[in-house]
Structure 1
Amino acid sequence: MVHMHITAWVVGLILFFIASSMYKSEKMKPATIVHMILRLFYLIIIASGILVLNELGFNLSNLNGEYIGKLILGLVTVAMMEMVLVKMKKEKPAKVFWIIFIIALVLTILLGIRLPGGIFHM
């Protein structure tokens, strides 16, 4: 299940950067299609993340702080991906959302590597 989660994140990030470059070059129709596919991947990312936690034997009553932090950072990362694309689509400044996205993404990846069940602990 960890592999599915990582694959979903990689595909999601690729789709995010494709959509953002399309919005930047004002190819609105294809960018909207890629954006809609990315929204499906948001659901896959969140669902696979929950399944990874269940696979590791965690539920809401026995999560420790690091796992809760990773869960929150992952949700913030997904939310910022969406906010960046929505702002770009509306041709409004998205600099703050880009900064939050990059910080949240780096922290999420670092926690994912560090925590048991992460890429180096499989």
Structure 2
Amino acid sequence: MVLINLHVISWIILLILFFATYENFSSKQGPTPLFKPLHMATRLFMIFVLITGVWLIANAFTSAGSNHMLLTFKMVLGIAIVGLMEVSIARKKRKAPSRGVFIATWAVTVLTIILGIILPWGPLTQLFH
């Protein structure tokens, strides 16, 4: 249970840092002084989220009765989110169109959160056990 809380707190902080990092780079004026530290903190929390997510997946795969197909899909979506975050920030730094990737990142994030809520160990599943 503690690991799930650490994972959830880490991705909440990651989403906040990602938004702050993305918005601290202006297409016209370039990066603000906070951009580089925010980007590094975002990458650090990406690692935290990936490590805790892999740990949770490993625990879920060893337990009986888990829905491995949906868990694997959620893991793929989680990795996709990290990739989309990096791509959207990199595109913004290159002054290439990045708003579409930014919106796609949030759309995949919402889908992953919904999937995490309904899967085993999620809040809705815990209500009925």
Residue 14 (structure 1) aligns with? 16
| Contact 1:87–1:93 (8 Å) recurs in 2 | yes
Map residues 73-92 of structure 1 onto 2, 5 A cutoff: 73-92=77-96
CA contact (8 A) 1:77 1:105 kept: yes
Match of 2:115 in 1: 111
Bigger relative CO (Cα 8 Å, ≥ 6 apart): 1
TM-score by length of 2: 0.82
Aligned to 1:36: 40
1:72 paired residue number: 76
Which structure has the larger Rg?
2
Aligned to 1:4: 6
Shift of 1:10: 0.4
- Pairwise CA distance, 1:91: 1.3
Computed over aligned residues only, the root mean square deviation of the Cα atoms, in angstroms, reads: 2.0
Q: Which residue of 1 aligns with 2:31?
A: 27
Q: Which of 54, 57, 79 is the matching residue for 2:58? A: 54
Moved over 4 A (4+): none
Deviation at 1:58, TM superposition (A): 3.5
Determine if contact 1:2/1:118 at 8 Å carries over to the other structure.
no
Identity %: 27
